[in-house]
Each structure stands twice: as C-alpha cells, then as structure tokens.
Amino acid sequence: MTSPLMSVYNRAPLAFTHGEGVWLHGDDGEAYLDCVGGIATDALGHAHPTLVAALTAQAGKLWHVSNIFRIPEQEALAERLTASCFADVAFFANSGSEAVECALKTARKYHAANGAPERIDIIGFDGSFHGRTYAAINAAGNPSYVEGFGPRLPGYIQVRFGDMETLAKHIASPTTAAVILEPVQGEGGARAFSGEQLRAIRATCTAHGVLLIHDEVQSGMGRTGRLFAHQWFEEAAPDIMAIAKALGGGFPVGACLATAHAASGMVVGVHGSTFGGNPLAMAVAIAAFDEIATAPMMAHVRVIADILSTGLNAIAARYPDLVVDVRGKGLLVGVKLVSNNRAFMALARAHRLLVAGGGDNCVRLLPALIMSEDEAREALVRFEATLATARAEAQLTQTSVLADAVQ
C-alpha cells in the first residue's frame, strides 16, 4: 500500500473517530480502553468538557497574535507554573523538543553571558529521549536516532544510567555547561532515577557551577502523582525544566521553565517562536493546569497508580514466563516483557486495550490522570487476558515445533 505520508511511523492499522474520558472509539466500531493517552499527553482524557469549553470560547475571540505584543494568557499560565515549582520565568513553545531546545540554549547562554563561553558540554544519559531536533537527538544520543543525519554535534557527552562516578568526573570538567536528565525516563522504558541519585546530581552540579536541566516533558504535569516528578524529593530541583505533553491536555504546547539566575543570558532577541504561547494554546493550557494542579487530583493519581502497580505486580507473579518486571512511577508505568513488546501491543488491541511501546522491550501504560478505579481494574483484567492469549500462543507454537521435530 502506498501512502502519501512519510513512512517514519510504525502505525497500527486502526484509526479513531472520537473519544470520551479514557475510551477511544475505533473506526471498526469498537471501544478501546486507552492506556496510551496520546503518549502521556491526554492527561484529562478525551473531550474533557472544561478543555472543550476553553478551546471553543477562545476560538471565537482570538487565535494568534505575535509575541511582539503582550499576551496576557501567557503571563497567567507562567504565573501558575512558576508559583508551583522552583522556576521564576517561562518561555512557551509548541512541543517538547522545542522546550528542550530552549532549555539547552538557556544553559549555554548562561555560561556565555557569565564569562565562561568555553562551557558548552551537555551531559546526557543513555536510554534518554529528549525529542527529535538535532540538539535533542544529540543530547539523548540514541544511535538509531542520530545515525545518518550527518556528524554528531560537538559538546554532547553521554553517561551510562546509574554510573555516578563517571558522571561526577564530567560534571567537574571546566567545559561542562549542564546535565540533562528525565527524572523518570519515558521512552527509555519507565526507568526512574532514585531520590538519592537526583539529590547527588543536584549537589554535584551546584558545587561545580554546572546547570541542571530536568526534562519533565513526560513525567511532569501530575503524571507521577506530584505536579513534577522531582518534587517527590527534597533538594532535587533543577535550574531549568522542559515540559510539554500533558501541559495542553492534547493541544500542542511546551514550556521551558528556569530560575531567573539560569535564564540570565536569555535577553531580548536571543530566542523566540512564531506560534509559541499563542492565545489558543494558552487558553487550553490554563484550563488544563487548573484541572490538574490540585491536591485532590494528585491524590487521585496516587490511588490509581497504586491499583495499577499492585495489580500489575500480582499479574507479573502469575506470568513469570512472560513478564520480567514492573517499573516506573505513578501513571508512568512500564512492564518489561520476555517476548516482543510490539507483538504484545497488537494482542492487547485484540482485547480492546491500548498500550504504548517503550525501550528495553517494555510496554507502557500512560492513562489519563482521570482514569477511575473501575477503569484501572478493567485495564488490569484486559492486560492479564492479553498475557493469557500470549501464553496460549507460545504454547501452541511450542507444540507445533515439537510436532515438526517428531515428523
């Protein structure tokens, strides 16, 4: 089948006509329990009435104006964001990659503006994902994303996840600008840094005048049961943070947040965006923020996360032949499988359950934060049913292999 689309995605043969909450309605007439959530993006589920109202109200007033004018909605969202974390200022972009791009530029510009232009090195970790721009793929260093795109950019260093000794050596280097990490790696397979590691990295960066960037594009905006994942731990806050995905509840928007100190190089003219932070995006993001950033919502996320993790661990114990382990934090859940994760995703679809893939042969569950307790239990039922099918298929293959061998 030829398609007019660039063939960069491995797409499932399924499209959706509409959604409601954690349910997606396929063009095959079936209802699917959505544990992908547009990859941790549809934090309030599909067609959330508050977001629909915010979008349609703004659509009748003003969509887009240039950033050469004040955009009061940006100020309103920036006030909310900075009041709820370490940051003093925000820059709005359209995506996670752009938020990361701004974070990296902010870090290098800080050093250049403060008399140390030789500090350009960005230290990243294996298993990271920071997006698809040149800077983002170089910072994450995933070979399959950088190969064939010309020479690697200078000034990017990779450290093995957990190798704190090598990391400390690089942080101490006089050419290091910043460390970038995801407190909970998303695409890499829901791998979380420990509080101890995050605090140690924070302290080492501070000691050497190196900036710390957290990429909370996936882990942020309530996904782990706190507004930002690093807020689980005292004294772990970064200097700069990229967020996106759930920020707009499905509307494209990202942000780079920073302390005033870290952003001291970001003066008039050094950065910008045409669409970034336009009134339409801001109206939806403000509405999403006010729904997400509440104590009851965070408490709810922790309840649902507990149901999923308890249930999945019990299932893992019943299927040691198929499940390696369950990891992640909050509603950023990874299940590492023995057999191919892509095949499992297709089997899950047959059980009307949608799960995302992930590195390290994981499948990820990234449901909307509003998933109910009953829906969480239903997801577990469908997950286990998928494993039962996988086990039956494996046994069938084994039997036929045996039969072939006998013949």
Ligand X SMILES: *Cc1c(COP(=O)(O)O)cnc(C)c1O
User: Where in 233-292 is the site for ligand X (CB under 6 A)?
Assistant: 244-245
Minimum gap (Å) between residue 188 Cβ and ligand X? 9
Nearer to ligand X, 51 or 139 (CB): 139
| Window of 42-50, 165-173, 212-220, 377-385 that interacts with ligand X by CB under 6 A | 212-220
Least separation in angstroms between residue 254's CB and ligand X is: 6
Q: Which residue has the tokens 């923020």?
A: 289
Task: From 82-90, 105-113, 211-219, 279-287, give the range in contact with ligand X by CB under 6 A.
Answer: 211-219
CB of 226 to ligand X, least distance (A): 16
**Distance between CA atoms of residues 113 and 265, nearest Å:** 5
- Say how many residues touch ligand X, by CB under 6 A: 15
The token duo for 20 is 């409601």
Whichever of 2 and 7 has its CB closer to ligand X, that residue is 7
**Distance (Å, whole) CA 194 – CA 236:** 10
- Tell which positions 98-157 bind ligand X, by CB under 6 A: 100, 129-131
Q: What is the DSSP letter of 102?
A: H
Residues contacting 66, CB < 8 A, separation 6+ = 274
CB of 283 to ligand X, least distance (A): 19
User: In the window 87-106, what residues touch ligand X (CB under 6 A)?
Assistant: 95-97, 100
Nearest approach in angstroms of CB 251 to ligand X is: 12
CA distance 85 to 83: 6
Residue with Cβ nearer ligand X (95 or 138): 95
> Smaller CB distance to ligand X: residue 225 or 311?
225
Report d(CA 348, CA 21) in Å as an integer: 19
Instruction: Give the whole-angstrom CA distance, residue 178 versus residue 32.
Output: 42
Give the nearest distance from C-beta 324 to ligand X in angstroms: 22
Angstrom distance (rounded) from CA 131 to CA 194? 23
Nearest residue to ligand X, by Cβ distance, number only: 96
Using CB under 6 A, which of 215, 239, 291, 375 touches ligand X? 215
- The C-alpha atoms of residue 157 and residue 167 are separated, in whole angstroms, by 10
Nearer to ligand X, 91 or 129 (CB): 129
Which residue, 194, 54, 177, is CA-closest to 107? 177
The window from 168-176, 213-221, 361-369, 382-390 that contacts ligand X (CB under 6 A) reads 213-221
- The minimum distance between CB 158 and ligand X, in angstroms, equals 16
Considering beta carbons, is residue 43 or 100 the nearer one to ligand X? 100
21: left (phi > 0), else alpha (psi -120 to 50), else beta?
left
Please report how close the Cβ of residue 245 comes to ligand X at its closest, in angstroms: 6
Report how far residue 250's alpha carbon sits from residue 284's, in angstroms, rounded to the nearest whole number. 9
Q: Which two tokens stand for residue 399?
A: 């039997």
Question: Smallest distance from the beta carbon of 391 to ligand X, in angstroms?
Answer: 31
Of residues 19 and 359, the one with the C-beta less far from ligand X: 359
| Angle at CA of residue 309, ends 308 and 310, nearest 5° | 95
Handedness of CA 81, 84, 86, 88 (dihedral sign): positive
Out of 19, 21, 45, 186, point to the residue binding ligand X (CB under 6 A): 186
Q: What does the DSSP assignment read for 28-61?
A: TS-EEEESSHHHHT-TT-BT-HHHHHHHHHHHTT
How far, in Å, CA of 290 to CA of 303, rounded?
20
Name the amino acid, one letter, at 48: H
Among 43, 44, 212, 217, binds ligand X (CB under 6 A): 217
Positions in the binding site for ligand X (CB under 6 A): 95-97, 100, 129-131, 182, 186-187, 215, 217-218, 244-245
